[in-house]
Amino acid sequence: MSKPSDSKARACAYCRKAPVVPAFRPFCSEGCRSRDLNAWLSDRYVVPAASEEDELSVTSPLDNGDEAG
């Protein structure tokens, strides 16, 4: 797979409007970088779960019921 040409301006990963500035890659500015980080820290981005169950609640076949481990 070939890399995109440097002559093509890539859009900012946050605002999708301005071209990427190498110093702030993949963002166009410190502002977009900060807004993206704030979105992650504010739980606005969510990774979907595969199921409603908590993975720790499922008993493994290796579990033998011994609480001491």
Domain-located, residue 19: yes
DSSP state of 4: P
Task: Give the total number of structural domains in the chain.
Answer: 1
Domain-located, residue 55: no
Domain-located, residue 38: yes
Q: How many other CB atoms sit within 10 Å of the CB of residue 33?
A: 19
Domain-located, residue 58: no
pLDDT means per 10 residues, the chain with 69 residues, are 59 95 95 96 85 62 61
pLDDT score recorded for residue 7: 43
Domain-located, residue 3: no
Give the CATH number of the domain where residue 24 resides.
Answer: 3.30.50.10
pLDDT score recorded for residue 48: 80
pLDDT score recorded for residue 55: 60
Domain-located, residue 64: no
- Compute CA distances 38 → 3, 16, 33, 61, whole Å: 30, 17, 9, 40
pTM listed for this prediction: 0.56
Parent domain of 34: 9-45
Residue (of 42, 45, 43, 57) closest to 14 by Cα position: 45
Domain-located, residue 35: yes
